[in-house]
Amino acid sequence: MIERPSRRHRGPALATALVLVALALLASCTSDESNPVGVGLGTASLDTLLQEFELDSLVHLGRLDIENPVQPLDEADVLYLGERLGDASSILANFDFGDIATYQYTIGDSVVADLDFALVAELLEAAAPVDEIDLLLQTAEWYKAGHGPMGDEETQRPWPEIVKDFDVHRLTAPHDTLTYPGAEPAYEGADLASGAGDQPLDGLVELRLTAETVLGWVDAREELGVIIREPATSPDRELAGFVSRESANIQDSLLEQNLQGTKLGPTIRIELRSDEFLFVSPTADVSTWHALADLPTGTDQDIVLRSHLISSVLLRFDLEALPERVRINRANLVLHVDTARTYGPSTRLELSELPTELAPSGTRTRVIDDDVEIESEFLSNGILDPEHLTDHTVRLALTTTVQRFINGLPDYEVGYLLGYSDRSFPGTITVVDQDGVAQNQVNTGSLSPRTFMQRWTFHGTDAPPELRPRLEVLYTRIDELTDGEAR
């Protein structure tokens, strides 16, 4: 039997009720997120916050010319013809008419197998008189007229139409591709080509050769070299790039889609009938780069970078002037492009940390690619387009390396290597306007920095103050850590 609690037994119930009521009051909500209530009451504080510090004089500028012995210049994907800002190149190609492997016979889209010299002679005899023989060059996509890499007329300078004349000469001897860059080799005086280009570069360039001469090479199974030059009378002596014989596996950005599967590099095409052709491919091709503008090495001179024939710079500012034991909130290397002395496609420039002893100031040092020889630590990168009409400043982050310097690391003198990497010609370029708003995207594939010739010229320390290279640092300090003293 359950006994009903007497009045005297209600104490526990009442106590429980009191607790429950109080719990209900307390449990009705959760804590608010922290907010300005209490701001200013804390006993600790930072003494200085986001202080500006700027250095605009270099104490070290060394140059690194980076070479790759397994990919010499003659294996570059692009052949260059023309000149720009002191850089000039012609194209060399060797042909071996005695090597049947360099011949190809096509009917329509089909390639006829089992080609031999007897069949070649038979084809030429059957097609006689053969008079349409051309030397073909395929313009690299980026150099085609009006490719409009960014497509924004307000902020992007469209690539100009290039109209060129071409001279083709036989070399006095086949060239040695491994000797370039170098002077143009000796060649015979007669111009082998006629009907030089009178249209803007837009895909395939056809240089009509003297048929008798070429058929004589075939008949004699000669091994010879030719040089493709741009005469002084050429309308546009702009640098233009053409696909090399080594470009078989590169990205679409170098080739038009509809040219895929055709011959690469300077190729001789003999038209047998309207849809029958005999092709002779080169055994070697290379750009001469017989003129290359100087690359300065002085700390008071311009900062110049070059791709294709890769030359990077190793910079250093005098960080000793920074306060010690501060928090580096942000450190940027700021460079201003001298657009009048810069050319080439959009680039992703990379900044890495490297001992300055690898490239002593005021010198050019030749180093061998790759990471085996150069163990640099990546810091940051930034995309810059020389054809952009308004955005001529690049900012590259140095925050971590400056902080390491503040912390006394590493134990050697550190420089900042400004140059290229395998991502320098990125897969996708995002075009932004001067307000930083994305406007367009262009897929360029991801190409080696050896692909395109490009020269970046950034204003040096002799430029007006607002254009000088500088290190912009924001830091925060606690006087207690530094005793209020500068380093």
Partner 1 sequence: MRIVTLVVAAALAATVAGAQTPFSLQSLGQNVDNGTARDLGRGGWGMADRDSIAPGSLNAAAIAELRHAQLLFSGFALRTADTGPDQDRLTMRTVLPTVRLSVPLREGRLGMFAGFDVKRAFSYESFESNLEFDVFDEPVEGNETYTRSGNLYEIPVGLAWRPHDDLFLGAAFLLQRGPVEDRIVQFFDDALTNDYTQRLEFEGETMELSMLWDIPGPLSIGASVTPSYDLDVDRTVSIEGVSGEVESTATVSMPTEYRAGFLFELGRHWRLGADGAYAAFGEMGQQDLFTPAPRDEWSFAVGLERKLVRETRGRGYDMPLRVGFQWRRWAYQVGGSPVEERAVSIGTGVPFRNWLGAIDASLSYVWIGSLADNGYESEALRLGLSISGLERLVF
Question: Which residues form the interface with partner 1 (CB under 8 A)?
Answer: 6-12, 14-15, 18-19, 22-23, 25-26, 29-39, 41-46, 49-50, 52, 54, 325-330, 403, 406-409, 472, 474, 476, 478, 480-481
- Name the minimum Å distance from CB 19 to partner 1: 5
Q: Which is nearer to partner 1, 41 or 372 (CB)?
A: 41
Burial degree of 125 (CB within 10 A; 0-12, 13-18, 19+): exposed
- Name the minimum Å distance from CB 383 to partner 1: 17
Q: Which is nearer to partner 1, 12 or 69 (CB)?
A: 12
Q: Kindly calculate the radius of gyration of the chain based on its CA atoms and give it in whole angstroms.
A: 33
Q: Which is nearer to partner 1, 221 or 395 (CB)?
A: 395
Is residue 169 within 8 Å of residue 187, measured between CB atoms?
yes
- Name the minimum Å distance from CB 60 to partner 1: 24
Q: Which is nearer to partner 1, 14 or 70 (CB)?
A: 14
End-to-end CA distance of the chain: 88
Q: Which amino acid would we find at residue 288?
A: T
- Name the minimum Å distance from CB 233 to partner 1: 50
Is residue 287 within 8 Å of residue 82, measured between CB atoms?
no
Our CA dihedral for 418, 424, 428, 430, rounded to 10 degrees, sits at 20
Q: Which is nearer to partner 1, 334 or 389 (CB)?
A: 334
- Name the minimum Å distance from CB 340 to partner 1: 26
- Name the minimum Å distance from CB 337 to partner 1: 19
CA dihedral sign of residues 324, 327, 329, 330: positive
Q: Which residues pair with 449 in a beta bridge?
A: none
- Name the minimum Å distance from CB 24 to partner 1: 10
- Name the minimum Å distance from CB 89 to partner 1: 41
- φ/ψ (deg, to 5) at 133: -125, 125
Write the DSSP assignment of 44-77 as a string of letters: ---SEEEEEEEE--EEEEEEEEEE-TTS-GGG-S
Q: Which is nearer to partner 1, 19 or 111 (CB)?
A: 19
Q: Which is nearer to partner 1, 50 or 111 (CB)?
A: 50
Q: Which is nearer to partner 1, 108 or 464 (CB)?
A: 464
* Peptide bond between residue 200 and the one before it cis (omega within 30 degrees of 0): no
Rounded alpha-carbon distances, angstroms, from residue 396 to 155, 349, 354, 370: 22, 9, 15, 22
Separation CA 414–CA 12 (nearest Å)? 76
CB count in 10 Å sphere of residue 80: 26
